Structure 1
């Protein structure tokens, strides 16, 4: 009896073909080996002749006549009578089924495929029978799930170290004959990629670092084969990725071990030898930038890694001439922005490297031209603006900004650009912040910045961000420009011209932001509160500076059942909420305004 009852209805050759089709569709070694066993067993059962049969049946006829087949003598009379007794054609009964069609039998009808023939399984019933047989064999096998714990990490680490050592030994022994160590290199490559599973188990990061595997992984960045180094970078990037749900303690343990293994210097050395015209090397640069970005997420780590060599590399990379902005060029700009925002120490290191001047030169391209919407270049330009915003906050950054004619470039963008307009206002807002912003404020007035600023303010349907930055600039100019100076007189004249139309808009905006700030369910309530406080400072300054402005503002507030006391209360609340760093400068200003009111 056949050991393969599923094969009934199929010839031996057909069934073996089906098993071979199944083998071709297999994706792993275990399944392929299983199919080979099935095919071998099937051949053995159905096609192999027994040894006894081979000796019992001669291949050639015997020479004597004893074994020759004998035919019985035919009776001629019986044959004649038999022929006469058979009915003739005319006497044959009529077939009950007159509609029977001749020809081969049609194949059995199959259920219609609801999704169409292009969405079917791609197999027929015979192939399905073979697949079912293999599946039943799989069901009987015991699948052992490996437990991923500290012991597993130690075994993984031991295997990893062995692969590294073996490859290192063979490379040293057969330095001039790559064929001797290429197999060990392939094994090492596979072992590196197997470490990817650790990103799903961050609870094992500490153990991975403790047994020294993190340091060994970092050391592979200096491997002679750049493919090995790139694989190591990619795994490090995966382990440090923000998407990994690692606790801070787990993340810190891994990062500390990697930094101690000289990760940054090896990363930088590797960046210098990668050729971005090659796809694999370009990927290596991308993952290297990903590692830097991940390390920049922590202010302490950001200050540690952002040394001059890394900062110089990033500045050179964002300045590289390209036909169109590449992904890596944009990514370098993004990493630079994250670093500059993460730590004041990083900003202090970037400014002496002429970062402000270099970024202004790159942004000059967008004075009249807008980058394509939702493009890599648009992201690149936004990252440059954000970095410049961060660098213009320190006192040294403001000086560099003035020296590189940053105020003039931002004003040109305010007049001519579309994409850059709001971003230029943001840069100016931050450049005017703090007590060291007075030179910037005076330069702003000297460079004829008041006209485009107030012209933009009077336009309708402004974006919320645009209004916020304009109000910030108004407040800074009123705070920084010396009293009775020509610069301040020119500023006040802009507020009161055209029958105080700017004051009317300021009062209207105050009412709108007051309503938004009271609505705690509004997601923009925080931004509305900031703008409301800024407006109260501006209105208080104008009341104190000009009698005509005072009367106009008080009348506008009275129309909404508000008055000077409303502004005074707001200033007192701001006074109570300032921190120690702002207390000296801002506190003094608020105290003076409260007394004036």
Structure 2
């Protein structure tokens, strides 16, 4: 029994509906479907329901049910033989692409010919969708990507991203997402380069952004299309990070911000938008600048405002909140954005979060650290004092917040953020605000000076232990050694000792503070020389490493000490002379 006989075989017992009855039913169903409106999505049959043979034949559930066990086993054996002999090669891929091109042309022709009669071009649309689905097999053989590119396959697929039927564009997006899967791209870097170059040349980011504008995330199929569109960008930028700048220039950043602004309950699309934005802002000042110009700082603050008095309900929502904080901190690395943060009432919002003790507390502390750093953070420091933020900040200095297992933060990291914030306050505040900061160190019998000295000895011991380990290594690279010491806690020790030196030696310092510092040093058999050594090394290495703070220190009367590293260094050395 050959395949055709097998497919046409029907046992005599069961009554089979006549062909005319079946035809009438299909006609009725088709008519009612058209009357209800052109269907958005063509539901493709599942393989288990309708087995497909390489010659295009299919077997319905009805026919399969009518076969006895032996005949069914024989049919399944034939199907297995058919599938095992199907292998994609260069010739078959060229045939598939040629077929795709023909079906695109046919569909365009039918749409132009019958623009107001969907039933006339419905069949060509289904055939076009089938042609796209058949190309998914390419993702399993990345060694043929060059054929896909050379045969203008990418050009054909890109033309379908703007297809009138969003189902077609969504099908293409799903295909490209598979083709650009990171695991697939890493199989052959050369083939992946062919593909990524072709996609970039065809301006895929712009096309994806335009297409996402017409997709509704409240419709499941269209939400999948948005998700896959974002996945394509993530895959491409992971393979080639430089594409992240081009992606933002082509409207992706604006698109992500627009999605975040939509007033809707938390969903997976919002999570993915925040995650992708966080990736785009990493190590890219151009993207950070663009975010500020698009009023992205305000949008991020507006989205975070909900969490000042509410905790995320799920782990996914917690991740979303953390992504927003990550985006905000990354954007603040671009110094002009710190002014935008101030204008958006960022310091006020972060201060509320610190007081409310919700899940957003640690993120708020980290954000303030970024916002208050450097001369560009001066106004944020002044604002913190103006809104009585010292009442919030210094209790955290005395006892840093606990870490969070979900975000991976530790109490030690929070401690470092608080120390950095206090150093920025000491450095940047002027006039009466500067005096208010200094006065905090005299409260409760100088308890904050005691805490500061405790931190000094704690971090000094850590750095000394690291120095001993480094001495036993054979690494002679001075820059590498310095970076290792910074990672061991030297950077935080430098900030601590800077605070000690500033509050004990500046012309606005309070004599009792200096006396308390010297008293504790004597009790611990230490001296000011240890602090001077740390600050002198800090001054000499200004600008030499990425970890050193490129900030402008204020003079003792609160005025600026210049805008270059030489003036910073000289100011610190002068401060040591008075210590």
Task: Provide the TM-score with structure 1 as the length reference.
Answer: 0.69
Count the aligned residue pairs: 484
Match of 2:416 in 1: 468
Alignment partner for residue 531 of structure 2, among 562, 567, 589? 567
Matches within 5 A, 1:238-387: 238-246=178-186, 251-297=192-238, 299-307=241-249, 309-322=251-264, 324-376=265-317, 378-387=318-327
Cα shift at 1:587: 5.6
Question: Within 2, Cα distance between the matches of 1:140 and 1:316?
Answer: 51
Contact 1:219 1:261 in 2 (8 A): no
Cα shift at 1:232: 0.9
Contact 1:356 1:400 in 2 (8 A): yes
Larger deviation: 249-258 or 494-503?
249-258
Cα shift at 1:245: 4.0
Cα shift at 1:473: 0.8
Question: Within 1, Cα distance between the matches of 2:332 and 2:191?
Answer: 36
Question: Within 2, Cα distance between the matches of 1:267 and 1:285?
Answer: 9
Match of 1:49 in 2: none
Match of 1:539 in 2: 500
3-state secondary structure, aligned to 2:161: helix
Tell me the alpha carbon deviations over residues 572-593 of structure 1, each in whole angstroms, 9 at most, x when there is no partner.
5443373488496456434533
Distance 1:277 1:440, change over 3 A: closer
Match of 1:496 in 2: 442
Larger deviation: 421-430 or 562-571?
562-571
Match of 1:592 in 2: 571
Contact 1:218 1:263 in 2 (8 A): yes
Question: Within 2, Cα distance between the matches of 1:442 and 1:375?
Answer: 36
Question: Within 2, Cα distance between the matches of 1:159 and 1:558?
Answer: 87
Match of 2:24 in 1: none
Alpha-carbon RMSD: 4.1
Match of 1:168 in 2: 108
Question: Within 2, Cα distance between the matches of 1:310 and 1:233?
Answer: 16
Question: Within 2, Cα distance between the matches of 1:163 and 1:571?
Answer: 73
Distance 1:155 1:524, change over 3 A: farther
Contact 1:302 1:339 in 2 (8 A): yes
Cα shift at 1:234: 1.7
**Gapped regions of structure 1 (runs ≥ 5):** 1-11, 15-23, 44-125
Distance 1:280 1:273, change over 3 A: same
Match of 1:230 in 2: 170
Match of 2:23 in 1: none
Question: Within 1, Cα distance between the matches of 2:348 and 2:535?
Answer: 33
Match of 2:541 in 1: 576
Matched, 1:208 2:148: yes
Distance 1:509 1:383, change over 3 A: same
**Gapped regions of structure 2 (runs ≥ 5):** 1-10, 14-46, 403-410, 471-483, 552-562
Match of 2:427 in 1: 479
Alignment partner for residue 487 of structure 2, among 516, 526, 529? 526
3-state secondary structure, aligned to 2:132: helix
Structure of greater relative contact order (alpha carbons < 8 Å, 6+ residues apart):
2
Cα shift at 1:315: 2.4
Task: Provide the TM-score with structure 2 as the length reference.
Answer: 0.71
Question: Within 1, Cα distance between the matches of 2:329 and 2:338?
Answer: 10
Contact 1:222 1:229 in 2 (8 A): yes
Matches within 5 A, 1:137-176: 143-144=84-85, 146=87, 153-176=93-116
Tell me the alpha carbon deviations over residues 263-294 of structure 1, each in whole angstroms, 9 at most, x when there is no partner.
23322332232233322122222222333444
Distance 1:408 1:142, change over 3 A: closer
Distance 1:567 1:135, change over 3 A: same
Question: Within 2, Cα distance between the matches of 1:160 and 1:366?
Answer: 50
Question: Within 1, Cα distance between the matches of 2:229 and 2:58?
Answer: 42
Cα shift at 1:299: 5.0
Cα shift at 1:443: 1.6
Distance 1:503 1:264, change over 3 A: same
Contact 2:297 2:344 in 1 (8 A): yes
Cα shift at 1:448: 1.3
Tell me the alpha carbon deviations over residues 279-329 of structure 1, each in whole angstroms, 9 at most, x when there is no partner.
21222222223334445555532222213744433223212122x212222
Larger deviation: 200-209 or 449-458?
200-209
Question: Within 1, Cα distance between the matches of 2:83 and 2:330?
Answer: 60
Cα shift at 1:222: 0.9
Cα shift at 1:461: 6.2
Cα shift at 1:399: 2.0
Contact 2:50 2:58 in 1 (8 A): no
Cα shift at 1:535: 2.6
Question: Within 2, Cα distance between the matches of 1:153 and 1:185?
Answer: 21
Match of 2:560 in 1: none
Tell me the alpha carbon deviations over residues 337-369 of structure 1, each in whole angstroms, 9 at most, x when there is no partner.
333335222222222332222332332222222
- Rg bigger for which structure? 1
